[in-house]
């Protein structure tokens, strides 16, 4: 790290709720926050935002005539961005940068517009401007009225942590001293669920824990989809109000043998974790918040990568996808929020269905992993 980077706020909306106290209290409950969603005459497990959060998003939609035509992914980003900068004490005159990504973007709107096109042989007027990927960061910048740089991107499931890398790079360059980064996703749509089922990775379980992320003995894939957003405020230097400090960053891409898989020992994760560690000894890491999507190969390959990096000094391992589902482009900063909450409360959030799980002796240094289609891994090293 060229300069100390402080995280001065983190805010999310997910199946765990829409404010930090609610989110933490729900993390402390040993239950999954999934529901059933009707899909092609059947029901599937999903992690949708609760009704109170939906009401808050609907209130935001009705607050401005221009917002009525926006996709949920944009509204989730606007809502969480407002809350994050309020928590950090920022205002528009700070001219902070914005980098918010999404794997899928305006999924629901795109599917609705395309359905209408097939029925009427005519596209709706707003179908293009409201479904472009740059839509999310642009509308957040409009809403917050900052004059800093605004960036959108999609790097599949590591999108949010790539946004963090970008924000850190801008701050280190001296071109900006504050950056709002994160990811937003609203993928609970028929075509998106069908795509995951076509890959044969979607959970078919009707148990209390339909997603068995980090269960290395499972016999079938158990990924479920979730929706939500999480935003993080980054600031140059060591701030008195810092929730955590970024001690290191890592990234890597590996050559793929298949469109959706990474190597059996996740070489991209090995490289990204080693890069994030820098000169720090692996034995100083207390917890790794894993990407662990709930698929057989995905979970095992990441676990093997951790074994290669840490050898016989394995840290405590956890994941939140059994609670919040896989939120694609938002998943990285939702995992980062879990890390920050564990640092704040000095309480380890484990996975209740695992027979044996190592507990950390202390909670000071945490790695957060994310990876997406294309073998692009990111690791963030946080400490308090």
- The whole-angstrom separation of Cα 174 and Cα 351 is 41
- Residue 382 host element (H or E): strand 376-383
**CATH number assigned to the domain comprising residue 155:** 3.40.47.10
Q: Is 303 within a domain? A: yes
142's CB contacts (< 8 A; 6+ apart) are none
Q: To which residue do tokens 């209408």 refer? A: 116
Range of the domain at 282: 246-383
Q: Is 357 within a domain? A: yes
The DSSP symbol for 374 reads: T
Q: Is 54 within a domain? A: yes
Q: Which of 236, 270, 301 is the last residue of a domain?
A: 236
Confidence of residue 264 (pLDDT cuts 50, 70, 90): confident
Averaged pLDDT for residues 259-279: 88
In this structure, are residues 135 and 74 in contact, taking their beta carbons and an 8 Å threshold?
Answer: yes
If asked whether residues 87 and 121 sit together in one domain, one would say yes
Q: Which of 184, 208, 236 is the last residue of a domain?
A: 236
Confidence of residue 1 (pLDDT cuts 50, 70, 90): low
Q: Is 241 within a domain? A: no
In this structure, are residues 165 and 84 in contact, taking their beta carbons and an 8 Å threshold?
Answer: no
If asked whether residues 227 and 266 sit together in one domain, one would say no
Q: Which of 174, 204, 236 is the last residue of a domain?
A: 236
Q: To which residue do tokens 């479904």 refer? A: 131
Tell me: the pLDDT tens digits for 32-71? 999 999 988 889 999 999 999 999 999 999 999 999 999 9
∠ Cα 173 167 263 (to 5°): 110
Tell me: the pLDDT tens digits for 78-110? 999 999 999 999 999 999 999 999 999 999 999
If asked whether residues 161 and 29 sit together in one domain, one would say yes
Burial of 144-171, coded b for 16+ CB within 10 Å and e otherwise, reads bebebbbbbbbbbbbbbbbbbbbbbebb
pTM summary value: 0.97
Q: Is 75 within a domain? A: yes
DSSP-derived pairing of the beta strands 287-289 and 316-318 = parallel
Which phi and psi angles does 5 have, rounded to 5°?
-120, 120
């Amino acid at each position: 790290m060229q300069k100390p980077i402080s995280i001065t706020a983190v805010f999310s909306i997910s199946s765990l709720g829409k404010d930090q106290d609610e989110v933490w209290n729900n993390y402390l409950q040993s239950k999954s926050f999934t529901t059933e969603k009707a899909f092609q005459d059947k029901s599937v497990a999903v992690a949708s935002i609760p009704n109170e959060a939906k009401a808050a998003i609907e209130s935001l939609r009705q607050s401005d005539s221009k917002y009525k035509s926006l996709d949920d992914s944009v509204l989730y980003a606007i809502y969480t961005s407002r809350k994050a900068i309020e928590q950090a004490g920022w205002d528009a005159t700070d001219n902070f940068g914005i980098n918010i990504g999404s794997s899928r973007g305006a999924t629901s709107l795109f599917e609705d517009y395309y359905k209408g096109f097939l029925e009427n042989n005519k596209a709706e007027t707003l179908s293009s401007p409201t479904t472009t990927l740059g839509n999310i960061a642009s509308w957040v910048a409009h809403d917050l009225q900052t004059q800093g740089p605004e960036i959108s991107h999609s790097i599949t499931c590591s999108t949010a942590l790539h946004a963090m890398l970008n924000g850190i790079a801008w701050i280190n360059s001296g071109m900006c001293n504050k950056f709002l980064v994160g990811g937003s996703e609203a993928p609970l749509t028929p075509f998106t669920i069908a795509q995951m089922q076509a890959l044969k990775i979607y959970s078919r379980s009707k148990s209390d824990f339909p997603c068995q992320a980090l269960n290395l003995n499972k016999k079938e894939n158990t990924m479920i989809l979730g929706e939500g957003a999480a935003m993080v405020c980054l600031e140059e230097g060591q701030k008195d109000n810092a929730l955590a400090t970024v001690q290191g960053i890592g990234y890597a891409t590996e050559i793929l043998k298949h469109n959706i898989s990474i190597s059996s020992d996740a070489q991209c994760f090995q490289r990204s974790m080693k890069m994030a560690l820098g000169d720090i000894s692996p034995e100083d890491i207390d917890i790794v918040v894993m990407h662990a999507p709930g698929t057989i190969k995905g979970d095992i390959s990441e676990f093997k990568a951790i074994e290669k990096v840490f050898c016989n000094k394995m840290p405590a391992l956890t994941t939140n996808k059994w609670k919040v589902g896989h939120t694609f482009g938002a998943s990285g900063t939702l995992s980062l929020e879990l890390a920050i909450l564990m640092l704040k409360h000095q309480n380890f959030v484990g996975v209740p269905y695992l027979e044996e799980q190592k507990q950390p002796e202390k909670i000071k240094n945490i790695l957060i992993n994310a990876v997406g289609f294309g073998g692009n891994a990111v690791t963030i090293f946080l400490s308090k």
